[in-house]
């Protein structure tokens, strides 16, 4: 390739990276602004929006609801999704393609449809406005991520290792617990992080199910619709910080996603 074309392409890529990151970066100075409304550049610096977030019981309660719901949904999706991935990867039964489709279905069906479908069911079961209901619904949405990551991870484990363990008399469950799962631990970390973030960021299902138990994204959504004040900017910066922590965890302990 000609050098000028290579440089042009790299410049183009640099511009696209800037386009991807700049809107997020712009929130940071806004969140530290001393102005009483959105203003750029900020006339001065202050922590008032962070203080407002921390002092408002509505925001804090919503944060704890989201943390509990995301933790519950992560555990549920990780257990169900990993077992399902094992079933699909190691199984030789007929219909496992169908099982795989079922497991990745919640990723393809629009979330608005899943949201009102579950809402219709939970309204009759009195599971709306409850953390249990949100955990169940978010686990449905998180299973495809766990299934995808864990299937890829399990395909890298030689079945002969499990068979060797089973021949030593530990049984299939023993082989999975003692041999397979330790080998796919990076995959488990990545899957857990993805599942957690997918629940912690989820809006559409929460819009219908949360009722009086507002999750953090639901509280943000309501706040943005009523008034754009920089409290949401402060919460957004905290969420971006959470993403950075998640990425650090994945790059340190997670599955290597970049095939190099």
Partner 1 sequence: MSSPAEPRRPRWLRLEGPFVLGLPAILFLMLLFVGPVLRLMLMSVEGGSLAAYEKALTDGLYLRVFLDTFEIAAIVTVACALLGYPVAYVLTTLSRGWAALGFACIMIPMLTSVLVRTYAWMVLLGRSGIINRTLMDWGLTDRPLALMYNLPSVIVAMAHVLLPMFILPVYSVMVRVDRELLRAADGLGASGWQTFTRVYLPLTWPGVLAGATLVFIISLGFYITPALLGGGRIVMIANVIENQVQALLDWRFASALSVVLLVATLAVQAASNRVQAPRG
Within positions 7 to 26, which residues make up the interface with partner 1, using CB under 8 A?
A: 9-10, 12-13, 16-17, 19-21, 23-24, 26
Applying CB under 8 A, the site for partner 1 has a residue count of 90
93 binds partner 1 (CB under 8 A): yes
Sole binder of partner 1 in the list 43, 120, 182, 211 (CB under 8 A) = 120
> Which of positions 165-194 make contact with partner 1 (CB under 8 A)?
166-167, 169, 171-172
Closest CA to 252 of 189, 201, 195: 189
109 binds partner 1 (CB under 8 A): yes
75 binds partner 1 (CB under 8 A): no
> Which of positions 197-256 make contact with partner 1 (CB under 8 A)?
197, 200-201, 203-204, 207-208, 217, 220-221, 224-225, 228, 232-233, 236, 239-240, 243-244, 246-247
CB-nearer residue toward partner 1: 67 or 99: 99
Sole binder of partner 1 in the list 71, 87, 129, 183 (CB under 8 A) = 87
């Amino acid at each position: 390739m000609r050098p000028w074309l290579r440089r042009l392409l790299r410049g183009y890529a640099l511009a696209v990276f800037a386009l991807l990151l700049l809107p997020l970066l712009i929130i940071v100075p806004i969140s530290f602004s001393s102005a009483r409304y959105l203003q750029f550049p900020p006339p001065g610096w202050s922590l008032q929006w962070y203080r407002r977030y921390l002092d408002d019981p509505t925001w804090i309660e919503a944060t704890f609801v989201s943390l509990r719901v995301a933790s519950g949904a992560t555990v549920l999706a990780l257990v169900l999704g990993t077992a399902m991935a094992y079933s699909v990867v190691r199984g030789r039964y007929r219909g496992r393609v169908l099982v795989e489709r079922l497991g990745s279905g919640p990723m393809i069906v629009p979330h608005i449809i899943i949201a009102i479908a579950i809402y219709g069911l939970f309204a009759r079961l009195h599971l709306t406005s409850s953390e249990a209901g949100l955990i169940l619904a978010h686990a449905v949405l998180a299973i495809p991520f766990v299934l995808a990551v864990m299937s890829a991870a399990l395909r890298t484990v030689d079945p002969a290792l499990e068979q060797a363990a089973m021949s030593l008399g530990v049984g299939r469950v023993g082989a999975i617990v003692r041999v397979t799962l330790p080998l796919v631990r990076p995959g488990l970390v990545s899957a857990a992080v993805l599942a957690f973030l997918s629940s912690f960021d989820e809006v559409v299902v929460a819009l219908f199910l949360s009722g009086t138990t507002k999750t953090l994204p639901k509280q943000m959504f309501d706040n943005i619709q009523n008034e754009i004040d920089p409290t949401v900017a402060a919460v957004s910066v905290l969420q971006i910080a959470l993403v950075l922590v998640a990425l650090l965890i994945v790059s340190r302990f997670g599955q290597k996603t970049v095939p190099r």
